[in-house]
Amino acid sequence: MAIDPRIDIGHVHLKVADLERSIDFYCGILGFELQQRAGDQAAFISAGGYHHHIGLNTWQSKGGSPPPPGTTGLFHTAIRYPDRASLGDALRRLIAAEHRIDGATDHGVSEAIYLRDPDENGVELYRDRPEAEWPRTPDGSVGMANAPFDLEALLAEAS
């Protein structure tokens, strides 16, 4: 039995070592807004005034280090942008902040930029193509890909 199709993922909480450093990245570079703060232990940030899309906390991680390679955990948090112009603006912000980008991929159904936050948590910034544009296999299923993504063209569309 399939899950109800109206279900979505509302927010993510990230364990961070330094709350200020994470706020500087998510709010200062990516442009999220701080909605609420609990001292130096937690912050709740969002886009558009929502109560929170991302929770940042130091409850079990203050001063900690990222998990070593080869261990389980979150691969990345995916942040969906509404269109190419807003994704291009995110790229512009990263470049202005001289923040390293790990890669970029055109998946056919979406276009994605990959990077790491200050705690080495994976972050995917992406935009979905309209479903009518998704590539399909001969049997009609979604045909995702891993093709190059032209970041210069995206940057030219930045809002």
Nearest to 125 by CA among 73, 72, 88: 88
Stated pTM of the model? 0.93
pLDDT at res. 159: 66
Q: CA–CA separation, 13 vs 149, rounded Å?
A: 29
In the chain, the domains with their CATH numbers are 11-60 (3.10.180.10), 76-159 (3.10.180.10)
Cα atoms found within 13 Å of the Cα of residue 139, Cβ hemisphere only: 1
Q: What is the pLDDT along the chain (159 residues), one digit of tens a residue?
A: 999 898 988 899 999 999 999 999 999 999 999 999 999 999 999 999 999 999 999 999 999 999 898 999 899 999 999 999 999 999 999 999 999 999 999 999 999 999 999 999 999 999 999 999 999 999 999 999 999 999 999 999 886
State the greatest distance between any 2 C-alpha atoms of the chain, in Å, as a whole number. Answer: 55
pLDDT of residue 154: 97
Q: Which of 105, 114, 86, 116 is nearest to 146 (CA)?
A: 105
φ/ψ (deg, to 5) at 20: -60, -45
> Distance (Å, rounded) from C-alpha 149 to C-alpha 146?
9
